[in-house]
Copies of this chain bind each other. A is one copy, B any other.
Amino acid sequence: MVAGGLARAAGHAIYALTIDYNQRHRIELDSAVRVAAMLGAERHVVMPLDLTRFGGSALTDDSISVPKNGVAPGIPVTYVPARNTIFLSLALGWAEAVGARDIFIGVNALDYSGYPDCRPGFISAFEAMAAQATAAGDGGGTFTIHTPLITMTKAQIASEAARLKLDVSQTWSCYDPPANGKPCGACDSCRLRAKGFDEAGLIDTLLR
């Protein structure tokens, strides 16, 4: 949501892309629809892509549990193999099809879970690859992968949401939503989100 808000603030028309990868926290797809509408997206594609066929992650394989004991060092089992590579590749394809050259992704390399595909080195390498990958590139077009949140802390991201007057109650972060429809409060994603709002001195209206 904050990356999209910054794209809009920079004057871009929004073509929102959400991947329904049959994730454990599919409830985030409902949030994505609301967020795209709030951002005034020209279009919003929710693309089904069933990554549970590959598995290899707690988010795409029900036999692997989501850790609940606190954020640990190293890459956690919630890492989905090549997920952001797949997401950015799809964004690249859609961008080329609609004539867009700016791709925004809300990855974050501080206060994050240790995923390799959230780091600046990965993003730079993807951008270099994208320059070779398309017909648009052949015509001299270049694609820019914008990562406005990559060096922010979660507290800074919460503050940006407030500054942009974005309604965070409509967002979702929890990896393992209980049956009651509330965030679990114990997974890494819940913990990092709570830490961000706490440090920013802001209320997370999703939890009200």
**Which residues from B are CB-within-8-Å of A82?**
89-90, 92-93, 96, 130, 133-134
Interface size class of A (residues with CB under 8 A): 35 or more
- Copy number of this protein in the oligomer? 2
0/1 string, A97-110, CB within 8 A of B gives 1:
11000000000000
**Which residues from B are CB-within-8-Å of A132?**
116-117, 119, 121-122, 125
* A83 within 8 A of partner (CB): yes
0/1 string, A29-71, CB within 8 A of B gives 1:
0000000000000000101111101111100000000000000
Closest 10 CB pairs of A and B: A56-B97, A82-B93, A81-B96, A125-B129, A89-B89, A122-B132, A129-B129, A82-B92, A81-B93, A54-B97
A-B contact pairs, 16 of them (CB 8 A): A45-B53, A47-B50, A51-B93, A54-B98, A56-B93, A75-B138, A85-B129, A85-B134, A86-B89, A89-B89, A116-B132, A116-B137, A117-B133, A117-B134, A119-B132, A122-B133
Taking Cβ atoms with an 8 Å cutoff, the residues of A that contact B are: 45, 47-51, 53-57, 75, 79-86, 88-90, 92-98, 115-117, 119, 121-122, 125-126, 128-138
